[in-house]
Structures are given as C-alpha cells and as structure tokens.
Amino acid sequence: MKRLIIWLLIVVSSSSFAQEKNSFNILLIHVDDLGAADLGVFGSDFYETPNIDRLASEGMLFTQSYAAASICSPSRAALLTGKYPARIGITDWIRAKFQGGSGLALPTNFEANEGKPLKTPKNLGFLPLEEETIAERLKELGFSTMHVGKWHLGEEGNYPEDQGFDINIGGNDLGQPPSYFDPYLPPNGNKDYVLRNVPARKKGEFLTDREGDEIVSFLQNQKSNFFIHWAPYAVHTPIMGPADLVEKYKNKTPGVQRNPSYAALVENLDQNVGKVLDELDRLEIRENTLVIFTSDNGGLIGNPQNPVTVNLGLRSYKGYPYEGGIRVPTIVSWPFVIEPGSVTVTPVITMDWIPTILDYLGEDMPMGLDGQNLRAVFENPDEQISRDLFWHFPHYRAPDVVPYSIVRSGDYKLVYCFDGSEAELYDLSNDPLEETNLVKQLPFIASQLKTKLENWWKETDARLPLGD
C-alpha cells in the first residue's frame, strides 16, 4: 500500500510537469514488418531482444495494439496524421518511382484486375502536403525534428523534409533498402533505388547500425526538445543480417520461429534500440523522454515452407485481414508517468499517438483526427476505451486476398468482403485464432457491424470497389 501511494504521488506530480508546453522529448520507433510475437517479451523464445524487453519492463505493454493497416504506407500515413488511411486516400502500399509510382493527385478512376470481378480504386501515391503531420505541429512548438529510416510516402517533393522534419536520414519513396550493407546500393546500379542522405561510410556497415549512430549523433548535439521519428528499414526484406548474428542463430536450436537471417535482423534492431536508450541515459534525458515502440503491420510469412517469421497465437500474416496481419507489438515507456512493468489489454491503434502527445503538451486537438487520447490508459492500465476500430483495403493482394473492410466492436470482429463472398464474424475473446466463423450463428450482430461499416465508409468518404 505504501508503495502504491508513493507511485500515485509521483504520477500526479509528474503529470503536472508533463503538461508544461514543450517540456519533454519524443522518440517514436515505428518498425517495419515486426510481428506481434517477434520479441521476447511478447512470447518469442528464439529471437533475443533484451533491450526492447527492458524497455517493456520500464514501461507499459499493449497486448491488443493494432496497426492502421496490414501493409506499410497506409499505416505510416496514419501514424503521421492521426487519420484513418481511408480518409486520406492511401489504402495500399505506394509504388516507388522506379516501380511506376505516380506523384499525381488522388486518381478518381478505377483499375480493372485481370480475372477478377471488381474494379478497384487507384491508390494515392503520396502523403499530401495539405495534411498536417505531427512533425509540422511539433516544429511549430519549437521541437527539433528528425526522421530516420523508411518513409515510403511519395516521391521527391513529398519527402520528410517537406513534411516538417528538419533532418531526413534515409527517407524517400523506397519501400525497402537495396541492401542492408554499406554502400547500400542495388546490384543493377539503378540511381532511383538509392537511400536519401545515407552516403557510403564504411564498407560492410549494417544499415540499422548506421541509423542508430545517426540518432546518437543527433542526440549529442541537441539543445532543445526533440521529436525523433525512427522508422527502421528493418525488419523488412531483403532478409539479411550481420554475419556473426546469422551464424549465432544457425547454431541455435530452432523453435516454431527458426529463420536465422530474420533473427539476426531482429537482434540487430534490438542492439540499436539499446544503443539509443543508453545514450538517453548517458545524457540524463531519459526521464524526460516519451518512448513509443510499435510496428507498421503484422509479421511477414514469405515462403510457408521456410517462413520469415511466425505470428504465434494469431492467424495469418502481413497483408491479410486477420489478427496476424494487423496486430503489432507495442511498448510505451515514460519514467514517472507510466508505471514500470504495467500491462494493458485496451485495444489501441496507430492514430492514437498524436492525440495523446498533443494532450500532454497542453495543445488543442485539430479537427478531423481519428485517434483517441490514451492519457487515461498511460496513467491507469486498467482504463478501458469504448469505441469501434476500422480497417479498409479495397484492393486485391496475392491470390487469396480480396478487397475487404473490417470493423472491431467490443470483442466482435467482422471481415466484410466486397466480392460477395461470405463475411466472417469472430469473437476474439473466445477465439483469438479466428477459427470459427459466427456469421450464420449470430446474423443480428453481423448485421449491426455491417451497418457500422457502412456509416464509417460515408463518414470517411472511403473509396469502394466497383462491380461490373
């Protein structure tokens, strides 16, 4: 009881401190393709992630955290704007210039899909400059702003430095690095396939090590509050890792998760998270820094016979409408604000971070944000937020993914398929693996959730597929 009283006094006093404008720093780590079970603290017994696990022990674990989409670009747009991808018009991954990407305005036409019954809306190829990003808002408040790693939100003219970031290391239209090894060049020498502001430094140096070094250098030269948006290219393809770590995992007894190169990518990411956290400690600014660690979508399967990773306890993978495609590992740490070692089961989603940050800064909320302020959850992990969550992917993907929308309302989740195939209804509290479709047993609930989807499509002006 005495410990609880002391903790509550600390929370009250520190929360008042955090309300002072520009009184804290923000490190937002948005990992690429990290699955919900790819960390030790989230159940992996193969990948070794001591630094990220330590971050969890110092902060709060979110066991029902969702990405705004099951693929990257929509989630990245949602993270930076606080809006649903459907509201922005970015609902698929954005093609780079060398892949035929377009910097044109939102296309109003649709595209046919060979052998498929639906015409699907074309994807917006960039994050519009009219959309205010969290970097732009924080820059107005006097923060130094830095982007490191993957951007994947448009071609030149729509890069991080055009969206509120003072410094951009590595961010352009690419969805993955040409190589993780210095000089980070593609084998074919394509100049459109080169990382931005990451010149060769030391042959063979690993890209995530370089990202970590750039952040440490930035921290050492800061004299004002900062916002760092670290979007590691890891652990996206190409699946490769430092040779010593790959060898280590080749010699480790495999479990269900067993890919040595992917394991090396994960552990190297962990090492660099540790490097950055240690620098915050060394500079004595850790206690004044909000750290958010999350992922842009679920883990990638790759070859089913030799999977890149396995989303333990969840169905399916990146790109799919099931929990393995949209559930992500999330940790938030903030000394004296968030209780160390706390866990919340409250469902949260990518758009929630902006309203939460702005509330702690004492700022008014912009109109049109879709995220929820998580301050009450930060300060009490048992706090519940009552709302529905939505996803929208009006495109075909792979052989077995048809255009779909999803709504989660309470414990029920409806997957609606636009091609006319049977909808899927799951009770996530009793069926986390989504094995039993209840749509026929519970038609009233399915109908209620379909109505929620229809209302949400109208409210967000979501673009829907067209039949013949």
Supply the residues annotated as catalytic. 72, 152
Question: Helical H runs in 316-384?
Answer: 323-326, 353-360, 375-379
Strands 289-295 and 60-62, sheet pairing: unpaired
Reported in sequence order, the residue ranges of 122-225 that DSSP labels E, i.e. its strands, are 144-149, 167-169
Both tokens of 462, joined, read 């979501």
Is the separation of the CB atoms in 385 and 377 below 8 Å? yes
Both tokens of 297, joined, read 């979508």
Q: Give the whole-angstrom CA distance, residue 433 versus residue 429.
A: 10
CB neighbour class for 467 (10 Å; exposed up to 12, middle 13-18, buried from 19): exposed
Helix, strand and coil percent figures for the chain, each rounded to 5: 30, 20, 50
Q: Give the whole-angstrom CA distance, residue 92 versus residue 94.
A: 6
Residue type at position 195: L
Q: Give the whole-angstrom CA distance, residue 201 versus residue 219.
A: 20
At a CB cut-off of 8 Å and minimum separation 6, what does 74 contact?
68, 85, 90, 91, 92, 93
SS3 call for 275: helix
Q: Give the whole-angstrom CA distance, residue 208 versus residue 24.
A: 26
SS3 call for 72: helix
Secondary structure of 441-458 in HEC code, one letter for each residue: CCHHHHHHHHHHHHHHHH
Reported in sequence order, the residue ranges of 268-346 that DSSP labels E, i.e. its strands, are 289-295, 302-303, 306-307, 330-333, 342-344
Residue 95, CA distances (Å) to 100, 109, 400 in order? 6, 17, 21
SS3 call for 55: helix
SS3 call for 67: coil
